[in-house]
Amino acid sequence: MKIAILSRNPNLYSTRRLVEAAVAHGHEADVIDVLKCYMNINTVDPSIHMKGVELPDYDAVIPRIGASVTFYGTAVLRQFEMMGVYPLNESVAITRSRDKLRSLQLLSRKGIGLPITGFANKPADIPDLLTMIGGAPCVIKLLEGTQGIGVVLAETRKAAESVIEAFMGLKANIMVQEYIKEAGGADIRCLVIGDRVIAAMKRQAKAGEFRSNLHRGGTATLVKLTPQERQTAVQAAKTMGLNIAGVDILRSNRGPVVMEVNSSPGLEGIENATGIDIAGKIIQFIEKNGKPNKTRTKGVG
Ligand code: ADP
């Protein structure tokens, strides 16, 4: 097969591993920077060009689109889809998963466990919103945040009100969430491919920190999932319409709750923690499922 990997940087661990795995399985792989692509949108023969040259025909495309280039990146991916190229994750599903609130709404509609989450527009509604989610302590999150930046634990109701007011004053979109204290500063990253969890790791925050992000000094170890956790992760990916997803789960007293579903999960932390050849499994999934003109809008919403 001829596989296009949409990534801005060929030197990133995940990009390198995908190229390696594609080649090891006897395929050809090109790394393409979406921001260097331009497109001819027409009815008869849509095409993608780079530096004056039309891109060749690909059998499959692996999108690794960073959060900061979602708009243009998903447009390029959509163009590949229009040309009949098989996308590992569809553009619609990626767009859906990038909107944290919309994602939580879709997951809640499917009955998947979630931390109680509130969202408001007016400072006047903050007191009632806080009461709705169970008061303090609570977690306040910037909707646009990644790698734990913009995630704040407010220990008291007063602190929560001040932080929320400050964020609202800056016109930032935020959500306010029940604090899952019993998770003990740990979360679980489940790597879902198709309808299976193929790897899982537990990330533990460093002492004195509640955010378990590896970028914030968290450490990763192997973890054994319960059947309920597996099922929750697979259902969450399915609800978003993602073939591959990193589903982040907290262990709460009422069972697993989903924090986030990531459409471009990093491979480095989880391959190192588990020793599993995830890149190889991604290529095998594409070999099995990558047929031309297979794009259809999966999931809901
Ligand atoms: P990001 O997407 O920026 O990584 P997350 O929403 O995943 O932000 O939050 C970062 C970390 O903070 C999580 O990995 C988790 O350890 C912790 N965390 C987030 N939300 C909660 C919550 N509601 N209760 C307990 N811990 C949380």
Q: Report the separation in Å between the CA atom of 148 and the middle of ligand 1, taken as the mean of its atom positions.
A: 7
CA distance 87 to 193: 14
Both 215 and 278 in one domain: the answer is: yes
Both 236 and 154 in one domain: the answer is: no
Q: Using a 6 Å cutoff on CB, does residue 145 contact ligand 1?
A: yes
CATH number, residue 128: 3.30.1490.20
CA distance 9 to 180: 36
Tokens 């192997």, located at residue? 222
Both 129 and 199 in one domain: the answer is: no
Both 160 and 204 in one domain: the answer is: no
CATH number, residue 40: 3.40.50.20
Q: Is residue 294 part of a domain?
A: no
From 139, 258, 259, 270, the mutation candidate for ligand 1 (largest count of ligand atoms within 8 A of CB) is 259
Q: Is residue 300 part of a domain?
A: no
Write the CB contacts of 273 (distance below 8 Å, at least 6 apart in sequence): 201, 220, 221, 222
Q: Is residue 290 part of a domain?
A: no
Both 243 and 108 in one domain: the answer is: yes
The rounded radius of gyration (Å) of the Cα atoms in the chain is 20
CA distance 173 to 153: 16
Q: Is residue 121 part of a domain?
A: yes
Both 194 and 234 in one domain: the answer is: yes
Say if residues 59 and 1 touch (Cβ distance below 8 Å).
Answer: yes
Q: Using a 6 Å cutoff on CB, does residue 189 contact ligand 1?
A: no
Q: Is residue 242 part of a domain?
A: yes
Q: Is residue 237 part of a domain?
A: yes
Atom 12 of ligand 1: nearest residue by CA position: 211
CATH number, residue 223: 3.30.470.20
At 229, the amino acid letter reads E
For residue 106, the enclosing domain spans 99-113+182-284
Nearest Cα neighbor of 287 from 58, 19, 59 is 59
Both 47 and 60 in one domain: the answer is: yes
Q: Report the separation in Å between the CA atom of 156 and the middle of ligand 1, taken as the mean of its atom positions.
A: 18
Q: Is residue 190 part of a domain?
A: yes
At 252, the amino acid letter reads S
Both 128 and 216 in one domain: the answer is: no
Q: Is residue 301 part of a domain?
A: no
Q: Using a 6 Å cutoff on CB, does residue 140 contact ligand 1?
A: no
Q: Report the separation in Å between the CA atom of 147 and the middle of ligand 1, taken as the mean of its atom positions.
A: 9
Tally of structural domains, the chain? 3
Both 103 and 230 in one domain: the answer is: yes
Q: Using a 6 Å cutoff on CB, does residue 218 contact ligand 1?
A: no
Final residue in a domain of this structure, among 159, 179, 199 = 179
What is this structure's pTM? Answer: 0.94
Both 109 and 139 in one domain: the answer is: no
Q: Report the separation in Å between the CA atom of 108 and the middle of ligand 1, taken as the mean of its atom positions.
A: 18
Q: Using a 6 Å cutoff on CB, does residue 177 contact ligand 1?
A: yes
Both 214 and 71 in one domain: the answer is: no
For position 297, what pLDDT does the model report?
A: 61
Q: How far is CA 98 from CA 66, 102, 172, 218, 226, in A?
A: 10, 9, 16, 23, 27
Atom 25 of ligand 1: nearest residue by CA position: 180
At 234, the amino acid letter reads V
Q: Give per-10-residue mean pLDDT for the chain (301 aa).
A: 97 98 98 96 89 96 94 96 96 95 96 95 88 96 80 96 91 92 97 98 95 90 97 98 98 97 96 97 97 64 40
CA distance 190 to 244: 10
CA distance 47 to 43: 10
Final residue in a domain of this structure, among 133, 148, 179 = 179
Both 28 and 77 in one domain: the answer is: yes
